[in-house]
């Protein structure tokens, strides 16, 4: 067993002296990094790989006793709906998260990307609303019981579609709003029976300010991609908005009766670093039940780091992309700036490779079909920025390239999460072009964590600077109750 462990690679390098194996973790010497000399341009073309690791043998080998959805206390009609969709057993985050949420606790749901977090909070929400509606709670029109808030339009649409799919034959009315004709909606408000409102933050803040929606009976509030919503550019508006919500300061006891206050669910692939600051005076953060998986912040797919100088990047890009396109494999390419994302898609087209560009500079009309263009297989390459890396379900993607390396580890984790997701097939890999000194600093933090077999630390070199794009969204609000109406959705 020990001999087998000594052969398990964690880091493999161009310079073999820096190779690191699982058995090396017991050494007390400070690890020597393969990237330690990368600040010198003479190290260009050097590279190393990091492979998935876990230093908890019990976690790795433990057989988790996955229950059925019925065992978790969900509505029997909802469980039947899941079975009709071919969903039979809960994933790990659902297995541990759903009971906590059903208990009525305020919950922080933190787990690696693509592991099933969305269903972990949607299923308890549907179950609770079905119970509350049986109690004949008196509501006027435009008075939802549940609210799901996201930072981006694509994620909002994706969550709404998943919610509609699983509640298709249940008595649940879902309203998807991502903006667009906000002024018209304020002057001539839509009037509907609404159980669950799924919105991007910008539009729900405006519509509730003008009283289009009555949130006094909200009893379930979800902030999906909470770490993005807690960004300092959102903070003041988010705090004002949340103080208007009837959120329980610390704990909701679970009964079948209609609760007196709303339960708060925070969802993220990273532990939000600014949570205490943003939620101060809104909810007691000490009372939040932390539900997280053992794989949070860890390397989950093989990753290659290549030291380059800027002039090498276009040539290396073509070496990287051509065989993947030839094999009909989908690739997401990330840049740090919108301008670079534009240039990359144009450059690839000039080289005979069709690529879809998606970023925050685009007008609504241009952007509407971009993500669906890639999702539906019309193009194999998506060139995007951080806006495309959060929350989107990309199970068909096996390759991610960081053409520009991010300057914060949270963005890196989210970008990596676009591949190796639950339900994906084939080998997944992340490749990183590393050029700038600041990028090398982040790489060294990641490599050091791997050599210590620890989770990736969360830090941001640009903590006091505005990010290149914050997606507050403007899509025409629309009520969607039937998946046959999907052609009306902008993706």
| pLDDT class of 225 with cuts at 50, 70, 90 | confident
Which residues pair with residue 401 across a beta bridge? 333, 431
- Res. 18: pLDDT tops 80: yes
For 78-91, how does the pLDDT look when each residue is reduced to its tens digit (9 = 90+)?
Answer: 999 999 999 988 98
**Domains of the chain listed by start with CATH number:** 9-54+299-452 (3.40.50.300), 69-292 (3.40.50.300)
Compute the average pLDDT of residues 222-240.
86
> Backbone phi, then psi, for 263, in 5-degree steps?
-85, 140
> Backbone phi, then psi, for 193, in 5-degree steps?
-75, 120
> Tokens 């190779």 appear where?
19
Which pLDDT does position 355 carry in this prediction? 94
| pLDDT class of 57 with cuts at 50, 70, 90 | very low
Write out the two tokens for 247. Answer: 């959120």
- Res. 473: pLDDT tops 60: no
Which pLDDT does position 398 carry in this prediction? 85
Least confident of 163-172, 296-305, 307-316: 296-305
Residue 134 in contact with residue 172, Cβ under 8 Å? no
Helices 117-134/76-84 angle, 10° precision: 140
First CA to last CA distance, the chain: 50
User: Distance between CA atoms of 11 and 41, rounded to whole angstroms?
Assistant: 22
Which pLDDT does position 60 carry in this prediction? 35
User: Distance between CA atoms of 165 and 39, rounded to whole angstroms?
Assistant: 50
> Tokens 């999702």 appear where?
375
Percent of the chain whose pLDDT exceeds 90 = 45
Residue 180 in contact with residue 200, Cβ under 8 Å? no
Report the chain's mean pLDDT, rounded to a whole number.
Answer: 82
According to the 3-state scheme, what is the secondary structure of the chain?
Answer: CHHHHHCCEEEEECCHHHCEEHHHHHCCCCCCCCCCCCCCHHHCCCEEEECCCCCCHHHHHCCCCCCCCHHHCCCHHHHHHHHHCCCCCCCHHHHHHHHHHHCCECEEEECCCCCCHHHHHHHHHHHHHHHHHHCCCCCCCCCCCEEEEECCHHHHHHHHHHHHHHCCCCCCCEEEECCCCHHHHHHCCCCCCCCEEEEEHHHHHHHHHCCCCCCCCCCEEEEECHHHHCCHHHHHHHHHHHHCCCECCCECCCCCCCCCCEEEEEEECCCCCCHHHHCCCCCCHHHCEEEECCCCCCCCCCEEEEECCHHHHHHHHHHHHHHHHHCCCEEEEECCCHHHHHHHHHHHHHCCCCEEEECCCCCHHHHCCHHHHHHCCCCCEEEECHHHCCCCCCCCEEEEEECCCCCEHHHHHHHHCCCCCCCCCCCCEEEEEECCHHHHHHHHHHHHHHHCCCCCCCCECCCCCCCCCCCCCCCCCEECCCHHHHHHCCC
For 442-468, how does the pLDDT look when each residue is reduced to its tens digit (9 = 90+)?
Answer: 999 999 988 888 878 877 777 644 444
| pLDDT class of 469 with cuts at 50, 70, 90 | very low
Of 189-193, 259-263, 369-373, highest mean pLDDT: 259-263
Strands 263-268 and 220-224: what pairing?
parallel
Rounded to 5°, the CA angle 222-224-225 comes to 150
Residue 154 in contact with residue 371, Cβ under 8 Å? yes
For 326-345, how does the pLDDT look when each residue is reduced to its tens digit (9 = 90+)?
Answer: 999 989 999 999 899 999 99
Compute the average pLDDT of residues 378-389.
82
- Res. 199: pLDDT tops 60: yes
Which pLDDT does position 463 carry in this prediction? 61
For 399-436, how does the pLDDT look when each residue is reduced to its tens digit (9 = 90+)?
Answer: 999 999 999 888 888 888 777 554 445 578 999 999 99
- Res. 102: pLDDT tops 90: yes
Percent of the chain whose pLDDT exceeds 70 = 80
- Res. 252: pLDDT tops 70: no
Residue 143 in contact with residue 197, Cβ under 8 Å? no
Of 24-38, 54-68, 261-275, highest mean pLDDT: 261-275
Compute the average pLDDT of residues 13-25.
88
Which pLDDT does position 255 carry in this prediction? 62
Compute the average pLDDT of residues 186-201.
87
For 145-157, how does the pLDDT look when each residue is reduced to its tens digit (9 = 90+)?
Answer: 999 999 877 788 8
User: Distance between CA atoms of 355 and 343, rounded to whole angstroms?
Assistant: 11
User: Distance between CA atoms of 352 and 337, rounded to whole angstroms?
Assistant: 23
Of 27-36, 130-139, 461-470, highest mean pLDDT: 130-139
Which pLDDT does position 484 carry in this prediction? 44
- Which of 76, 51, 88 shows the shortest CA–CA distance to 427? 51
Which residues pair with residue 262 across a beta bridge? 247
User: Distance between CA atoms of 102 and 77, rounded to whole angstroms?
Assistant: 16
Compute the average pLDDT of residues 60-74.
68
- The pTM of the full predicted model, rounded to 2 decimals, is 0.71
User: Distance between CA atoms of 489 and 34, rounded to whole angstroms?
Assistant: 48
Helices 92-102/117-134 angle, 10° precision: 30
């Amino acid at each position: 067993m020990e001999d087998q462990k000594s052969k398990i690679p964690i880091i493999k390098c161009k310079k073999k002296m820096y190779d690191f194996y699982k058995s090396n973790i017991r050494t007390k010497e400070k690890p020597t990094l393969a990237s330690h000399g990368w600040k010198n341009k003479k190290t260009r073309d050097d590279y190393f790989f990091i492979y998935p690791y876990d230093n908890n043998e019990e976690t790795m080998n433990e057989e988790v006793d996955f229950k059925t959805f019925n065992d978790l206390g969900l509505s029997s009609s909802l469980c039947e709906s899941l079975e009709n969709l071919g969903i039979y057993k809960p994933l790990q985050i659902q297995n541990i998260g759903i009971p906590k949420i059903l208990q009525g606790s305020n919950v922080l749901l933190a787990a690696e990307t693509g592991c099933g977090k969305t269903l972990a909070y949607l299923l308890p929400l549907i179950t609770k609303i079905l119970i509350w509606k049986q109690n004949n709670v008196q509501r006027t029109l435009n008075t939802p019981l549940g609210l799901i808030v996201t930072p981006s339009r694509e994620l909002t649409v994706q969550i709404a579609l998943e919610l509609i799919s699983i509640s298709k034959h249940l008595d649940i009315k879902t309203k998807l709003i991502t903006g667009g004709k906000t002024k018209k909606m304020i002057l001539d408000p839509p009037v509907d029976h609404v159980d669950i409102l799924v919105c991007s933050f910008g539009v729900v803040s405006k519509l509730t300010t003008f009283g289009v929606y009555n949130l006094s009976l909200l009893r379930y509030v979800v902030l999906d991609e909470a770490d993005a919503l807690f960004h300092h550019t959102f903070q003041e508006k988010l705090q004002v908005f949340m103080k208007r919500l009837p959120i329980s300061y610390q704990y909701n006891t679970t009964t079948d009766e209609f609760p007196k206050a709303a339960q708060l669910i925070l969802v993220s692939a990273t532990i939000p670093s600014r949570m205490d600051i943003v939620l101060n005076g809104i909810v007691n953060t000490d009372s939040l039940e932390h539900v997280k998986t053992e794989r949070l912040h860890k390397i989950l797919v093989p990753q290659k780091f290549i030291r380059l100088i800027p002039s090498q990047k276009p040539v290396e890009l073509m070496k990287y992309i051509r065989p993947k396109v030839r094999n009909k494999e989908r690739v997401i390419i990330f840049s740090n700036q919108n301008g670079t994302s534009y240039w990359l898609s144009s450059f690839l087209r000039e080289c005979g490779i069709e690529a879809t560009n998606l970023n925050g500079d685009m007008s609504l009309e241009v952007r509407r079909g971009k993500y669906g263009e890639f999702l539906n297989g019309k193009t194999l390459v998506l060139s995007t920025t951080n806006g495309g890396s959060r929350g989107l379900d990309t199970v068909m993607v096996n390759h991610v390239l960081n053409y520009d390396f991010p300057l914060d580890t949270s963005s890196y984790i989210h970008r990596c999460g676009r591949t190796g997701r639950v339900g994906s097939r084939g080998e997944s890999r992340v490749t990183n072009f590393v050029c700038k000194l600041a990028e090398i600093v982040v790489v060294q933090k990641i490599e050091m964590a791997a050599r210590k077999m620890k989770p990736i630390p969360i830090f941001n070199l640009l903590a006091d600077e505005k990010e290149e794009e914050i997606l507050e969204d403007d899509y025409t609000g629309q009520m969607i109750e039937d998946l046959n109406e999907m052609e009306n959705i902008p993706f």
